[in-house]
C-alpha cells in the first residue's frame, strides 16, 4: 500500500517564524489564515499544519 499524502500538525508559538522557516525548505502556503491562527503548507506530497 502506497502512502499518498503525509501530514504533520504542529502547535507553534509564532506562525510567521514557522512559515518563514518552512518556506526556506521549499514549502508554500496551500491554505489557512494567520488571523485565525492556522496554516497548511505543502511541498509535493508533504503537508505541514501549523496551529497557534
- 24 within a domain of the structure (yes/no): yes
The model's pLDDT over 24-33, given as tens digits with 9 standing for 90+, comes to 999 999 999 9
Using CA atoms, how far apart are residues 36 and 40, in angstroms rounded to an integer?
12
- 26 within a domain of the structure (yes/no): yes
CATH code of the domain containing 21: 3.10.180.10
- 1 within a domain of the structure (yes/no): no
**Which range of residues forms the domain containing residue 12?**
6-51
Other Cβ atoms less than 10 A from the Cβ of 41: the count is 21
Total of domains in the chain: 1
- 28 within a domain of the structure (yes/no): yes
* Confidence at residue 1, expressed as pLDDT on a 0 to 100 scale: 63
Enter the pTM of the model: 0.83
* Confidence at residue 45, expressed as pLDDT on a 0 to 100 scale: 83
- 29 within a domain of the structure (yes/no): yes
Q: Is the pLDDT of residue 41 over 70?
A: yes
- 14 within a domain of the structure (yes/no): yes
Amino acid at each position: 500500500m502506497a502512502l499518498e499524502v503525509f501530514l504533520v500538525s504542529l502547535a507553534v508559538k509564532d506562525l510567521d517564524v514557522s512559515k518563514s522557516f518552512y518556506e526556506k525548505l521549499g514549502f508554500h502556503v496551500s491554505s489557512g489564515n494567520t488571523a485565525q491562527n492556522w496554516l497548511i503548507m505543502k511541498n509535493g506530497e508533504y503537508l505541514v499544519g501549523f496551529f497557534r
